[in-house]
């Protein structure tokens, strides 16, 4: 039953561009990008225990990688999007020797500082347009009518891809290591789990997916600026969506994104009031439903593995 529903949802989402108008498609693309970004953050923070407050660094790098790759190397944007993810993953790999020396809250702040440093470097780089930003070089060659469906489909692919990746990883033998490490690091190491290798894999995969989702988002805007790309607002939205939806749960980012966009769209006429509504929703969820919205779904699934912890 659940499978049929999921399949049906995927089909409807795929054929949506044939029926929907441009503004609906743009909103759909936004939602899918936020789902993908939140799944990626959830992989690192919710499953891997790597509480990053600097994922906007990966958003910005993914976006700028798309612009640089398509301008300097003449790579078609469709191929530049996955490549932007690879560039972001490589960047993540390069910063781990320093950032992985930090733990928990120090890691969170370290990531934040790293994101600020990257933003300042980009703002000072003339090659990347400095503070005023860059236009998307390859945009002129693309057929105008296909721009928004293309962005939507790419967002759908990245959102579904990231969700499937997390689902598959957590079912695999590697997922056991990730979960064991999150539950009790000393116990995990005591049966041979190598913590560094597991965290590195999770972190790089998370960054890669983040970079790809960001590239899709900035593909649709046709212009990128350091302030928009490295905006702390990215990570705030992602954390909100994931925490409200349920950290360490696959359905968490999806449900969280749904609530986020329902609040944002229904309060759109009241200026920034939706931010206050979001804050209230966040506090209420944390008080009443510490497991997030995803924990509401538990009674509807017959899961033999449902966790019942002894007090």
Give the nearer residue to another protein in terms of CB position, either 144 or 308. 308
Question: What is the smallest separation between the CB atom of 311 and another protein, expressed in angstroms?
Answer: 10
Q: Annotate 110-150 with DSSP letters as a single string.
A: HHHHHHHHHHHHHHH-GGGTGGG-EE-GGGGGS-GGGHHHH
Binding site for another protein (CB under 8 A): 173, 176-177, 179-180, 182-184, 186-195, 304-305, 307-310
CA–CA dist 44, 38 (Å, integer): 10
Of 179, 207, 176, 181, the closest CA to residue 194 belongs to 181
Of 216, 214, 82, the closest CA to residue 154 belongs to 216
CA–CA dist 123, 102 (Å, integer): 27
> Encoding tokens for residue 99?
């950032």
Contacts of 280 (CB under 8 A, 6+ apart): none
Give the nearer residue to another protein in terms of CB position, either 183 or 265. 183
Give the nearer residue to another protein in terms of CB position, either 76 or 101. 101
Question: What is the smallest separation between the CB atom of 249 and another protein, expressed in angstroms?
Answer: 11
Give the nearer residue to another protein in terms of CB position, either 192 or 271. 192
Question: What is the smallest separation between the CB atom of 172 and another protein, expressed in angstroms?
Answer: 9
Give the nearer residue to another protein in terms of CB position, either 200 or 232. 200
Question: What is the smallest separation between the CB atom of 40 and another protein, expressed in angstroms?
Answer: 21
Question: What is the smallest separation between the CB atom of 266 and another protein, expressed in angstroms?
Answer: 36
């Amino acid at each position: 039953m659940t499978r049929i529903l999921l399949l049906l949802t995927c089909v409807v989402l795929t054929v949506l561009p044939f029926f929907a108008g441009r503004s609906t498609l743009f909103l759909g693309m936004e939602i899918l990008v936020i789902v993908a970004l939140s799944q990626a953050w959830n992989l690192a923070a919710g499953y891997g225990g790597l509480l990053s407050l600097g994922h906007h660094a990966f958003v910005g790098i993914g976006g700028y990688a798309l612009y640089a790759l398509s301008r300097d190397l003449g790579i078609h944007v469709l191929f530049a999007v996955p490549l932007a993810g690879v560039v972001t993953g490589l960047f993540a790999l390069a910063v781990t020797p320093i950032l992985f020396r930090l733990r928990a809250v120090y890691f969170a702040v370290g990531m934040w500082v790293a994101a600020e440093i990257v933003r300042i470097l980009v703002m000072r780089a003339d090659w990347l347009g400095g503070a005023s930003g860059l236009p998307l070089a390859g945009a002129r060659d693309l057929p105008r009518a296909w721009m928004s469906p293309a962005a939507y489909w790419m967002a759908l692919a990245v959102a579904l891809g990231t969700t499937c990746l997390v689902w598959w990883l957590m079912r695999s033998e590697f997922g056991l290591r990730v979960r064991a490490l999150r539950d009790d690091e000393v116990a995990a190491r005591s049966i041979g789990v190598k913590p560094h290798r597991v965290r590195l894999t999770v972190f790089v995969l998370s960054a890669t997916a983040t970079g790809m989702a960001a590239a899709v988002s900035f593909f649709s805007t046709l212009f990128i600026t350091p302030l928009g790309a490295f905006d702390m607002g990215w990570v705030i939205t992602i954390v909100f969506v994931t925490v409200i939806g349920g950290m360490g749960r696959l359905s968490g980012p999806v449900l969280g994104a749904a609530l986020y966009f329902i609040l944002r769209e229904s309060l759109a006429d009241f200026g920034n009031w939706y931010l206050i509504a979001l804050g209230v929703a966040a506090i209420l969820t944390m008080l009443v439903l510490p497991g997030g919205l995803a924990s509401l779904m538990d009674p509807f699934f017959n899961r033999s593995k449902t966790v019942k912890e002894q007090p």
